[in-house]
Structure 1
Amino acid sequence: MAGLKYKILVSVAIVLHIAQFTVGYSFRNCTEDPNSNHTKFLCIRHQAKNISAIIGDLPPYATTIIISINLIKHIPDNTFVHLPNLRTLQIDNNHLETIDNQAFQNMSQLKSLNLSLNKISNLSSSVFQDLKNLVNLSLNNNSVIRLPPGIFSSLSNLDVLILRQNYLNNFSAVAESVTHLSKLTKLDLCNNYLTSLHHSNHTDLPESLTTLYLCKNKLVTLACEWGFLSHVLLLDLSYNDQLPSRAFQGVDLRKLNYMRLRSTNVTVPELLNVSNVRGGNIDFSGMGLKTDNLLMELCSLLSTKVKFVKKLSLGSNGILSLRKNTLSNCPPIRGLLDLSFNHLKKVRCLHFLKGQDQIKKFTAEKNHLTSLMSCNRQNLSFPNLTDLSYRYNRILNVNSFAFHHTPNVKTLQLNINIIAYLDHKAFSGLTNLVTLRLDNNLLTDLYKDSFEDLHSLEILNLRNNQIAVLFNKTFHSLKHLHILDLGGNKITHFEESAFVGLDNLANFYLDGNNLKQIDSSKFKPFHATLEVLDLHGNQVSFSSKRTNSPFVNLTKLRILKLDAQMPHGLNMLPYAFFRGLNSLQSLYLTDNHIFSFAADTFDDLTNLTFLSLDNSCAGVMQLQPGVFKNLRKLSKLSARNMGIQSFSKEVFGNLTELQILLLNQNVMQSLDVNVLEALPKLRYLDLRNIPLSCTCLNSDLQNWTLTNQRVQLVLLYSLQCQDKKLQKSFYNFDTNVCYLDLGEYLFATTTTVILLLTIIPLLYTKLYWKLKYSYYVFRSWFGQHWRRLREKEEHCKYDAFISYNSADEPWVLDQLLPNLEGNGASFRLCLHHRDFELGRNIVDNIVSAVYSSRKTICVVSRHFLCSEWCSLEIQLASYRLFHELRDVLLLIFLEPIPERQLSAYHRMRKVMLKKTYLQWPGSDCTDPVKAQELFWNHLRRALRSGSSRFEEEDEGREEYFNQPPTDDDNYYLMP
């Protein structure tokens, strides 16, 4: 007991473990039947081997499970413990070999168990112990050799037990296993290896058993007690080719209503002599009664045994012909005479049945009949005959008055022959005929008097003939015809009055013909009655959108089939094509090549509940907004393989009653969850074989499929991502990144980029050299030059760095250099051509020169202003001036430069406003020599300022410079 509890707990844990990964309304290997009210599940063709994996996620309210065509080999204990409400379980067409003892535990409600078409060879005696309410058990087509004692001991409610096609050879064990089944009514043991019905002395079949099938065994005797089969009503012993007549001696078969002995070694005379079976309840098919003498002998024997016969079956006896009055001496046949599967070539107006005027049904199917002759001259009639069948023969022609001898026949079956000629008066006199089947023949023409006398006809089947044209008034007498089937012919058109008289036609089948046009006037005779119109597989097409609706008069039509028009389908649907179909409930447009559906295509179909559009487009389909706007009663929409690109609310949002939506094999990469939420009645959604992208575009859809409990998404866990190389499943692709506030990040990023793109050009224009200077300063600092460049000014290598353009080099060499380094001035100057370090980067040389000099003298001219290197040098000097607050920059203008030309050089303008600059005296001054001398004195004084090296200069020179400036001074000393 402890072990049992442990197993149960383990099973429950497994179920819960599976359930935690199956949150949404979907199942890994099964599909809930949408028409079963959430109770039936189909687990078919999944190639699964583990049954627990197949049904592990099914809900406990399941009542029917079909697990067919898989690879299951084993059913372990407690497999169905989580399905206590199961009523029907079908595990057929698998490779099932073993079933554990407690495999069906907790299945006390199960009523039907089908384990057929497997490889079961051994069964435990306790395998069915928990199935106390089982009614039907099928072990058909397995490898069961023996039944262990007590295997069915707990199946007290078993009604049907099917053990057909196994390897059972011990009937006594079988009988013992079922003897206590007080409700068993049917036992099928066909196709086993039983040799007799021998049983133990105390074993009886249940009194409830009325049907026993023992066909296709190896029976050579019955060998059972007198009353062993006394309660059996139907006994099939056919195809036991060694079973003799004497086997029935000593067996009580008085209650038997039907016994089948086809292909046995039993002879009729001996059987009737040795047994107490009632002759009228024996099926004499396949018992070698192929001659008239044998048949007449049978009739004589039956006449001594019974007063009448309800059914006389003489099929498969090889009968070639029947002479007149052959069966006349038989007891009255009050039901069926069956002569099927013989070799009859003629029936001669049933003259062999003379005197059998009580017969009601006659069947001569699958014989060699070639024609039905005229019977109006025969003084023979069977007024009680109501059912007549000549199906599956070789009848080529039916002559006039062929059924004159059966005036009251109601069902006449002439289908599946080769009838090419049907006389105008073939059915003359059949005023009571209700059903006429002429399908699958070679009829080419029908005439206005072909059915003239068939006033009571309700069903006329002319399917699969060679009819090309329907002439006027062909059906004018068929005022009660309810179903007319003309499918599978070669009809190209109807004459104007072809359907006159069909006042009560409800079902009209014209599928598989060659109709190219459909005209409303042709359907006018039955406009108030027609409910089903099948135009499947014709050649209907339209070249203009302004064609009048052919259905405008069919106000009662409920089902319309227009699918698979040949050769390329309906390319377009005309304007208001479905006008008048206000009662239509089902519309089939499958397998067409419609280029587009207009927004008003289905506007008139306000009562439509089913619409099939599968494979009905010529490529990629973009459904128009509002195309389904009036289909507010639609409950099922099948739109598979239509090339639909988008799933929008404008298209599907009005389908408020939609319950089943099939969208598999389309091309949309995403589905809007809001549209699914807008379909309040939706409960079944098929998205298989759709290239859903595993991106953030579908993150909401993934979340919806895993959390919704209203809509079943068919086989969600088998849906793959669009990129099959990734081998990802749609239900578990990573969506973590999708839950970031992408809008906020995108806004911030976009704003930053825009600002940068706006500011950078401005910075480039206004601060280009400052940025460039900063870059070079940083690079110098990074190269460990910074500390050396920032040495104290007293240790500077030069008194001044001269910044000039090469065009002004003569002035520097002829004027500046002699007056500052010569004539007793003793200033140390730094010049490009003389003092820059060879092989060193020019920028590094400039930076080093600026920071190795106490002052920087810029010799400004128009050439200087155009030089990039001069601009850098003044930038570096001005940086020291403004940012380090060091008086290091001196400007010398060699020539007058207008204010407007200096406005672009804002850095230089800033220096000029802050510091005094020097102007080189030109030739226009009154005393050039004196002016130049005064210029050099001012420049030398400016170079000495701020340096201790020049503090001992004479006081007279200092006083001179402290005197107020003269007019000449104002010329070269500019504020």
Structure 2
Amino acid sequence: MAGIILRSFVLLSSFMFSMSNTLHLPTNTEYTANLSHSSLLSVPKNLPLQTTILDLQSNNISILVMSDFSYLLKLKVLNMSHNKLSELDSSIFSLNKELVYLDLSHNLLAVIYGQFIEGIQHLDLSFNHFNSLSMCEVFKNLMHLKYLGLGAAMVQKSDLKCFQSLRLHTVLLELENLSHYESGSLQILSTLKLQLVLPKKDMDPYILLSDAVNSAQILELSNMNYATTHIDAESFTNSRVSDITMINVTLSWSNIVKLFQAFWKSSVQFLKVEEMTIMGAIESEYFDYSATLIQEVMFQNVTITDYRFSQADVYTFVSEMNILSLTVTHANVLFMLCPSKPSIFRSLKFPHNALTDDIYQDCSNLANLESLMLAWNKLKKLSKVSSMTTHMISLQNLDVSHNSLQYETGEDCHWPETIVNLDLSENQLTESVFICLPTTVKKLDLHSNQIDHISWEIRQFAALEDLNLASNRLKDLPDCRPFGNLVVMNVAKNSIQTPSPDSLYSCATVKAIQAEHNPFQCNCDIREFVYREKESSARLPKWPESYRCAYPETLKGTLLQDFHISELSCNRSLLIVLIFLIVAILTLSLFCLCKYMDIPWYMKMIWRWTQTKQRTKNKWSTQQNLQQNFAFHAFVSYSERDSSWVKEFLLPNLEREDGSIQICQHERNFVAGKSIVENIINCIDKSFKSIFVLSPNFIQSEWCHYELYFAQHKVFTENSDDLILILLEPIPKYLIPARYHKLKALMARRTYLEWPKEKGKQRLFWANLRAAITINLVESDDELIT
């Protein structure tokens, strides 16, 4: 059915909190059908069979029949409050053997018949339309009943006699519309706690009160709204009640004093007043404080309608009470008088008022006070708070939280040596507060202040065991040296990004550090903090789920325990050593490679060739024709040891007598005064071809290597093909040095001319060679090579 919300609960629904403490329902998983506030006219017929909790409150149901619940055999809790039921046959629940909680309050019930099942423990029939309690016969078999709520317009002894057999823990008796009450009726009830809702009518509730204080040990009175009340204190003297709570009280000051006087002489030990309004004028009233059993009085939410009165009359009334504990909260109290004589107060609590620093100044009659609470007031100077406690020589617990306390350096602070618990949270204190604090304190709460650091030079707090600095402005863990016996420290919700190693070291003996919800900076500096806490995670109660990176943005939300960064990234010395080793290895490797490939020689040759080419380019830059002009058909490169072959065979066979072929030969064509390298480059540049006479002698010549290198470089830069290799004698590859690797490559991929030993083949050799170098040369003069 639409509207049914079926789910598994570990806790019962909220309305069950009204049940008595003696009622124990199963705490295992329950199934709840919540149909409250659904405008239902009848109970739905298709509820899940496993339903154990059914909430039907605040609907329009007027009739219940057996079929409504007969199939819900597991039903334990049923809330039918705030409906329109006018009569009830209690036998409709006869099949619901597990039902223990039944709420039928706030209906229109006037008639009940039948009998309830005997397993019910909580039954509420209050705020209905019963004229009397004559229907009590339906309850007599409820031997397990612990809570019973009833209401009627008439209360008589005869109607309540059947309740004597029940051992009830709590009885709620709603008498808002009471028209008749027989004296002594309430005393018939056998219950530990009585909740009595007094009549709304303007009547004197004296008879009811007299019976109520003798009917239960715990009494709760609601709706005491009377202009006049006749109270005979003597009738309260031998009462049974020990604990009284009055809720929604509206009385005159005179009646309040009379009522308290009656309770003062009774058996009452605990007295609490909630939502009290004092009507009319307030005048001084006599009050006898002697011979009372009351130990504790509480006032909560007090309103005075007439502000034209002497406040001393009210403050004297409470300050002179000879009780152990006094609480006044939400009463807008502006001041509190010092008792006129030594008081037995051990606990004073005045939270949520308007008290100032002037309270209890120079008060010496609170020597027995052990606990003082002034939270949520208007205290401003911590030094005045300390002077207030000077004469409280038994004070152990002081709570001045949620004020506007400040401390200025230089102000004197005087505390009793007995203070062990001090709550200064939610104030405006800075790090200077430690100058003012008592050194005897064991538990110190400074959370939600303005402390940004704690110097190790402050006084020693040897007794301090628990320090709360949460929600301050700390940027680092505090130095723990002033707190030698610290056991627990809370620095959660501060501005700590990277706890420093010094602070971690100083706090090594602290057993528990709460540092969660800080904006941790995940970098090298936080590694030690993470490492230490991984080793001893018991020190951080909420580790690891509440410790996350806030910076940098890329790591935001990462658990600190999952943050990793290498040692190399954080250890600068190690990084420098590693870089030095890498550079050294690369340098050594490069040196060895250069040595093996003879790179220095090549670099030297490139430099020389570049310099010579630059000079040649500058010399010829003014020529109009930039096209290459050759002066020789060929340049011959050979070893000096092969010069005889060149002069006897090569030159005669190429040049001939007709001069048609011009050969550049160093002995006759190199220009005196120029460097050898420049001459070599000029000859190569001005020759159509370059002929290299290869032999074992060639590869042993340094100058032959230069000539081959420059010629090959020309081939590469000008994309030409002007190298001619003549193999005069075979050259074993193992004899070719490493720097002649290009020669090896040339011989491997180029066709070279091999000098034939047979004379018959030599004619063809010269013909091929002449054909390879034949070209028409332009007319030139000696300047062509100068």
Give me the TM-score of the superposition, normalised by structure 1. 0.50
Counterpart position of 1:268 = 154
Counterpart position of 1:656 = 509
Letter in 2 for 1:564: E
Report the Cα offset of residue 463 of structure 1.
3.8
Report the Cα offset of residue 220 of structure 1.
7.1
- Tell me the distance in 1 between the aligned counterparts of 2:465 and 2:656: 113
Residues 586/224 of structure 1: CA separation in 2 closer, same or farther (3 Å cut): same
Report the Cα offset of residue 644 of structure 1.
0.9
Counterpart position of 1:609 = 465
Residues 587/453 of structure 1: CA separation in 2 closer, same or farther (3 Å cut): closer
Counterpart position of 1:570 = 429
Report the Cα offset of residue 611 of structure 1.
2.4
- Tell me the distance in 2 between the aligned counterparts of 1:890 and 1:373: 129
Equivalent of residue 371 in structure 1, options 253, 269, 278 = 253
Counterpart position of 2:700 = 885
Please, what is the CA RMSD of the aligned residues? 6.3
- Tell me the distance in 2 between the aligned counterparts of 1:340 and 1:111: 27
- Answer yes or no: is the 8 Å Cα contact 2:487–2:512 preserved in 1: yes
- Tell me the distance in 1 between the aligned counterparts of 2:702 and 2:320: 133
Equivalent of residue 383 in structure 2, options 494, 519, 538 = 519
Report the Cα offset of residue 366 of structure 1.
0.8
Alignment of 1:341-740 (within 5 A): 341-342=222-223, 344-348=225-229, 350=231, 355=235, 357-359=237-239, 364-372=246-254, 383-384=265-266, 386=268, 389-395=272-278, 398-401=282-285, 403-404=287-288, 408=292, 410=294, 411-419=296-304, 446=315, 453-454=320-321, 456-467=322-333, 474-475=338-339, 477-494=341-358, 497-519=361-383, 522=387, 525-526=390-391, 528-544=393-409, 550=413, 553-565=415-427, 569-573=428-432, 576-578=435-437, 580-582=438-440, 584-601=441-458, 604-617=460-473, 621-623=475-477, 627-629=479-481, 631=483, 633-653=485-505, 654-659=507-512, 661-669=514-522, 670-672=526-528, 673-676=530-533, 679=536, 681-682=538-539, 684-686=541-543, 688=545, 692=549, 722-723=553-554
Report the Cα offset of residue 615 of structure 1.
1.8
Residues 178/559 of structure 1: CA separation in 2 closer, same or farther (3 Å cut): same
- Tell me the distance in 1 between the aligned counterparts of 2:290 and 2:516: 55
- Answer yes or no: is the 8 Å Cα contact 1:470–1:494 preserved in 2: no
2:114 aligned with 1:224: yes
Report the Cα offset of residue 416 of structure 1.
1.5
- Answer yes or no: is the 8 Å Cα contact 2:198–2:223 preserved in 1: yes
What are the Cα deviations for residues 402-456 of structure 1, in whole angstroms up to 9, with x where unaligned? 65599736244443121457868858xxxxxxxxxxxxxxxxxx5xx566643x3
Counterpart position of 1:197 = 90
Letter in 1 for 2:439: L
Report the Cα offset of residue 509 of structure 1.
1.8
Local SS of the residue matching 1:369:
strand
Residues 196/533 of structure 1: CA separation in 2 closer, same or farther (3 Å cut): same
Report the Cα offset of residue 617 of structure 1.
0.3
What are the Cα deviations for residues 450-481 of structure 1, in whole angstroms up to 9, with x where unaligned? 66643x3222224445455667xx13535322
Report the Cα offset of residue 254 of structure 1.
9.6
Residues 547/287 of structure 1: CA separation in 2 closer, same or farther (3 Å cut): closer
Local SS of the residue matching 2:502:
helix
What are the Cα deviations for residues 156-178 of structure 1, in whole angstroms up to 9, with x where unaligned? xxxxx976658997599779958
Report the Cα offset of residue 616 of structure 1.
0.4
- Tell me the distance in 2 between the aligned counterparts of 1:877 and 1:769: 23
Alignment of 1:777-788 (within 5 A): none
Query: Quick check: which one's strand share is greater?
Result: 2
- Answer yes or no: is the 8 Å Cα contact 1:251–1:275 preserved in 2: no
- Answer yes or no: is the 8 Å Cα contact 1:245–1:271 preserved in 2: no
Counterpart position of 2:581 = 751
Report the Cα offset of residue 395 of structure 1.
0.9
What are the Cα deviations for residues 338-386 of structure 1, in whole angstroms up to 9, with x where unaligned? 68443623344626x8856544556653143243359799999983253
Alignment of 1:3-402 (within 5 A): 90=10, 113-115=27-29, 118-119=32-33, 170=66, 188-191=77-80, 195-198=88-91, 213-216=102-105, 222-225=112-115, 229=118, 235-239=123-127, 247-249=135-137, 252=140, 260-262=148-150, 266-268=152-154, 272=158, 276-278=162-164, 285-291=173-179, 294-295=180-181, 298-299=182-183, 302=185, 306=188, 314-322=196-204, 333=214, 335=216, 340-342=221-223, 344-348=225-229, 350=231, 355=235, 357-359=237-239, 364-372=246-254, 383-384=265-266, 386=268, 389-395=272-278, 398-401=282-285
Local SS of the residue matching 1:391:
strand
Counterpart position of 1:15 = none
Local SS of the residue matching 1:591:
coil
Query: Quick check: which one's helix share is greater?
Result: 2
- Answer yes or no: is the 8 Å Cα contact 1:508–1:533 preserved in 2: yes
- Answer yes or no: is the 8 Å Cα contact 1:535–1:562 preserved in 2: yes
Residues 251/453 of structure 1: CA separation in 2 closer, same or farther (3 Å cut): closer
- Tell me the distance in 1 between the aligned counterparts of 2:574 and 2:65: 80
- Tell me the distance in 1 between the aligned counterparts of 2:72 and 2:301: 48
Local SS of the residue matching 1:563:
coil
Report the Cα offset of residue 336 of structure 1.
6.9
Local SS of the residue matching 1:494:
coil
Residues 252/175 of structure 1: CA separation in 2 closer, same or farther (3 Å cut): farther
Residues 190/639 of structure 1: CA separation in 2 closer, same or farther (3 Å cut): same
Report the Cα offset of residue 327 of structure 1.
5.3
Letter in 2 for 1:333: N
What are the Cα deviations for residues 658-712 of structure 1, in whole angstroms up to 9, with x where unaligned? 2353322322314424422564853623455655389xxxxxxxxxxxxxxxxxx
Local SS of the residue matching 2:583:
helix
Residues 243/312 of structure 1: CA separation in 2 closer, same or farther (3 Å cut): same
Residues 728/537 of structure 1: CA separation in 2 closer, same or farther (3 Å cut): closer
Letter in 2 for 1:346: A
Give me the TM-score of the superposition, normalised by structure 2. 0.60
- Answer yes or no: is the 8 Å Cα contact 1:536–1:561 preserved in 2: yes
Task: Show structure 2 runs of 5+ residues with no match.
Answer: 15-23, 36-42, 610-631, 638-654, 707-754, 760-786
Task: Show structure 1 runs of 5+ residues with no match.
Answer: 1-71, 76-88, 95-109, 122-141, 153-160, 180-186, 428-445, 695-720, 778-795, 802-820, 831-852, 892-945, 950-975
Local SS of the residue matching 1:798:
strand
Counterpart position of 1:135 = none
- Tell me the distance in 1 between the aligned counterparts of 2:663 and 2:588: 44
What are the Cα deviations for residues 899-939 of structure 1, in whole angstroms up to 9, with x where unaligned? xxxxxxxxxxxxxxxxxxxxxxxxxxxxxxxxxxxxxxxxx
What are the Cα deviations for residues 847-890 of structure 1, in whole angstroms up to 9, with x where unaligned? xxxxxx777966464899999988999xx999x99982248579
Residues 505/452 of structure 1: CA separation in 2 closer, same or farther (3 Å cut): closer
Letter in 2 for 1:510: L
Report the Cα offset of residue 533 of structure 1.
1.7
